[in-house]
Amino acid sequence: MNRTVPALVALLLVMDVTGALISLSTGLSPTLLDALGSEARLSAPLPMMIAQAVLAFGTTRRNRGVAAVCAGLLTIAGGLAFVSGFYDGGYDDPRLTASLRLFQIALVGAHLAMGVFSGVRVVQALRA
């Protein structure tokens, strides 16, 4: 079983929770739910985090179809995490300091990496 994707998703979940706590402590978000909601700047929204965790589990299944579909959806999610910042104002939020911006870049980079490795997992599942 391939554990790379679940490990990356676990890292993302840690980064998301950390980002939400940073948002809360710096005043970027007024409440923890806001920091984990649709206006989040330093974390994925909570429903996305849950979906990623479930899909990451699915990528480890022996059933090739389940693994491929779950990995494919995570590939799409990785790309959407990057693209969404252009549409929701996340990348041009003037409240982000240099250090907050660096965290945001690391988080988006980790989402892109998860997307790439999920794409590799799709190929692996289909070839098995």
Per-residue pLDDT of 24-81, as tens digits, reads 999 999 999 999 998 889 999 999 999 999 999 999 999 999 999 999 999 999 999 8
User: What is the model's pLDDT at position 1?
Assistant: 54
Burial 20-51 (b: 16+ CB within 10 A, else e): bbbbbeeebbeeeeebbeebbbbbbbbebbee
CB-CB contact of 36 with 20 (8 Å):
yes
More confident residue, 28 or 87: 28
Q: Please tell me the pTM assigned to this model.
A: 0.91
User: What is the model's pLDDT at position 34?
Assistant: 95
Rounded-to-integer distance, Cα 67 and Cα 74, Å = 11
Based on the number of CB atoms within 10 Å of its own CB, is 9 exposed (0-12), middle (13-18) or buried (19 or more)?
buried
Say if residue 88's pLDDT is above 90.
no
